[in-house]
Structure 1
Amino acid sequence: MKADLLLEGSFDEAIEGVDGVFHTASPVLVPYDTNIQENLIDPCIKGTLNVLNSCKKASSLKRVVLTSSCSSIRYRYDVQQVSPLNESHWSDPNYCKDYNLWYAYAKTIAEQEAWKVAEKSGIDLVVVNPSFVVGPLLAPQPTSTLLLILAVITGRKGEYPNTTVGFVHIDDVVSAHILAMEENNASGRLVCSSSVAHWSEIIEMLKAKCSSQEGDNNPHSMDSSKIIKLGLPPLRTLDQMFDDCIKSFQEKGFL
């Protein structure tokens, strides 16, 4: 069965008769795409709305779990004042525009629109907000996240983002989604983030060549207590995340 994220009604047949729907993140494989609106913003926002509109038509549907991102939470001018960040915080679209953070902009608007649809239609929506996902490579080729890590490890990238981000293991993100779908008490947004670190710390940990560049350095911390209280096991550490990531690169011949 084929479906098109940008075609309204495309998911009607696929969703009819199911109990739950996972609308997971789409990989961003091209870091510097020139057509941001068409290739990133539209699929993210319109695609999310099209899936939810199909969900509204499915009488059997009990819950929708949407993969959002901590990018829809942490990009704001007052981030240091309001940290630790939790489910009540939202990224500022104007901040995203000022720093050309188009992925964060798209994820923020898409999630906000999703909540509007859920509220009007009565859909039981639960949103998982993972931070920077690290771990074994699942796709045939590295995503933009893993391409950056691979470039740093191999020394092909002589600079790194001047920013602080949260990190989380892919296995913890998977567990968070299953918990969000199966746990009756799950509701609203669920931050899923382990350690927060500046990229310079990651570079030092990986012992890679690097230099700094100007960027949106916004130190912050993330609060994952809500999803942990629901029963998510202890989140993996930075060492575990990157050990598994590097091992996966080696197994797949990228290193």
Structure 2
Amino acid sequence: MKEEPEVTGTSMDDHREKQQATVCVLDASTYVGFWILNGLLAKGYAVRAAIQKNGDGEILKNIREMEKAEERLEVSSVDVLDYHSILLALRGCSALFCCLDSPDGYDERNVDIEARGAINVVEACAQTEGIEKVVFSSSMAAAIWRDNIGSDNDVDERSWSDQDFCRKLKLWYALSKTLSEQTAWALAMDRAVNMVSINSGLVLGPGVTQQNPKTTLAYLKGTPEMYENGVLAIVDVDFMVDVHIKAFRDQSTRGRYFCFNQVVNTEEEAMRLAQRLSPLISLPPSYENQGNEPYAERLRTKKLSKLVEGTAY
């Protein structure tokens, strides 16, 4: 993974912070968690990688190999449905990157598992002395789905997906992400936990079709509707990691932050996306005779721009 340029304004205090503080990534065996782990190590942080036994096999193997070579990396096992195992994983840590994804995919039967995990994680943070900040990795799927998805209204960090609408269309990934994030926010506010959430678009990066197939396919359910309504967003994994770390380091960050590089709203861009995700998804037929007029982009990223420019609020 290429190293991100240092954030402007870093000082000797920042250097001492990295040397002294351990940050936790839970679940580091998810695709997003693994790349955040790599980004933190590249920045000089000591990291505790909390992994679940049912995580991606290749990612788990990579983390174990990294542990042998990297003295700043410590690996611990965790079960997000076991509150006490989370407490143990957080002991001695100053911050948490919470990256929950279902390794078994998303369906009606397990739609609430992430929400249950989020309750345990946030409660454990509230009860763990030393946790100063939680960066909660969520999804834009928790913001875009509702009855009036085709309206002219902009979609920004104040927007939430409608749970009943998600159930009606069987958008289990979107429902799970909405439930887990709303649950996390409710408990964080009640327990006075300092939390920010990063709502990422469809994450693209090295090995994503092999290491993150179920989550990728789950996000893509409803692709035609997202595409036609200007809310199909993608994000490069390096940029996503950059945003997560900036949100952690900037003390002024508050609330939710959309995180994406591009809105896919032309046929040419849709074809390129399909090619990047092949063979996970089938390539669409040619659109040569259907024109290439872009659909209007409706996603707004004022907060993201300020964060990336170093002026978050």
TM-score of Structure 1 vs Structure 2, range by shorter chain: 0.7 to 0.9
Higher relative CO (Cα under 8 Å, sequence separation at least 6) belongs to 1
1:114, 1:120 → 2: CA distance? Answer: 10
In the alignment, is the contact (CA less than 8 A) between 1:185 and 1:230 conserved in 2?
no
Identity of aligned residues (%): 26
In the alignment, is the contact (CA less than 8 A) between 2:138 and 2:199 conserved in 1?
yes
Number of the residue aligned with 2:119: 49
Unaligned runs of 5+ residues in structure 1 are 149-159, 213-217, 234-255
Q: Look up the equivalent residue of 1:162 and give its one-letter code.
A: P
Q: Do residues 231 (structure 1) and 298 (structure 2) align?
A: no
1:144, 1:5 → 2: CA distance? Answer: 19
Q: Do residues 90 (structure 1) and 160 (structure 2) align?
A: yes
1:131, 1:82 → 2: CA distance? Answer: 20
Q: Do residues 176 (structure 1) and 243 (structure 2) align?
A: yes
In the alignment, is the contact (CA less than 8 A) between 1:72 and 1:90 conserved in 2?
yes
Question: How far did 1:203 drift?
Answer: 4.6
**Residues 43-93 of structure 1 deviation map (CA, whole Å, 9 limit, x = unaligned):** 311111111111111121110000111000000122333543111110001
Number of the residue aligned with 1:109: 179
Number of the residue aligned with 1:100: 170
2:153, 2:236 → 1: CA distance? Answer: 22
Number of the residue aligned with 1:210: 284
Q: Do residues 69 (structure 1) and 143 (structure 2) align?
A: no
Q: 2:298 aligns with which of 204, 217, 221?
A: 221
Secondary structure (helix, strand or coil) at the match of 1:79 reads coil
1:146, 1:113 → 2: CA distance? Answer: 23
Question: How far did 1:144 drift?
Answer: 2.9
Change (3 A) 1:202 1:70: same
Question: How far did 1:169 drift?
Answer: 0.8
Question: How far did 1:98 drift?
Answer: 1.3
Change (3 A) 1:203 1:29: farther
In the alignment, is the contact (CA less than 8 A) between 2:202 and 2:235 conserved in 1?
yes
Q: Do residues 118 (structure 1) and 188 (structure 2) align?
A: yes
Change (3 A) 1:199 1:58: farther
2:79, 2:224 → 1: CA distance? Answer: 36
Change (3 A) 1:98 1:232: farther
Number of the residue aligned with 1:236: none
In the alignment, is the contact (CA less than 8 A) between 1:19 and 1:60 conserved in 2?
yes
In the alignment, is the contact (CA less than 8 A) between 1:161 and 1:199 conserved in 2?
no
Change (3 A) 1:226 1:91: same
In the alignment, is the contact (CA less than 8 A) between 2:243 and 2:308 conserved in 1?
no
2:255, 2:300 → 1: CA distance? Answer: 15
1:49, 1:104 → 2: CA distance? Answer: 18
Paired residues for 1:150-165 under 5 Å: 161-163=223-225, 164=227, 165=232
In the alignment, is the contact (CA less than 8 A) between 1:6 and 1:47 conserved in 2?
yes
Number of the residue aligned with 2:128: 58
Aligned length: 213
2:162, 2:268 → 1: CA distance? Answer: 26
In the alignment, is the contact (CA less than 8 A) between 1:84 and 1:222 conserved in 2?
yes
Secondary structure (helix, strand or coil) at the match of 1:80 reads coil
Question: How far did 1:42 drift?
Answer: 3.2
1:101, 1:231 → 2: CA distance? Answer: 31
Number of the residue aligned with 1:237: none
